[in-house]
Amino acid sequence: MANIKSAVKRIRQNRTRNLRNRQHRSQMRTMIKRFRALLSEGKAEEAQELLPKVYSIIDKKARKGIIHRNTAARYKSRLTRRLASQQAGSGSA
């Protein structure tokens, strides 16, 4: 345990920020899972409607510094590719 007053405060701040960041990250991951679940169920149209909301959440988390902006770009790219492959697969069937 820290003895210095500023170090005690820093520990308190870090704990608070850690909890907040964890909540933000969890919210983002939940939305991504929801999107992927729609795709796995074959509901590409619903996933298409959800994609802008997922993008928005990912971008917000990147702006807040919860995730790195390159990580955000990678998430968005992978989700878009997955949706495109799903739509291509269902279009030819």
Residue-wise pLDDT tens digits, 21-55 = 999 999 999 999 999 999 999 999 999 999 999 99
Question: What's the pLDDT score for residue 32?
Answer: 97
The DSSP result for 9-73, as a single string, is HHHHHHHHHHHHHHHHHHHHHHHHHHHHHHHHTT-HHHHHHHHHHHHHHHHHHHHHTSS-HHHHH
All structural domains of the chain:
5-92 (1.20.58.110)
Question: What's the pLDDT score for residue 1?
Answer: 80
Question: What's the pLDDT score for residue 90?
Answer: 67
Range with the largest mean pLDDT of 40-44, 76-80, 89-93:
76-80
Q: Say how many Å lie between the first and final Cα of the chain, rounded.
A: 63
Per-residue confidence band for 86, with pLDDT thresholds at 50, 70 and 90? confident
Average pLDDT, the chain: 93
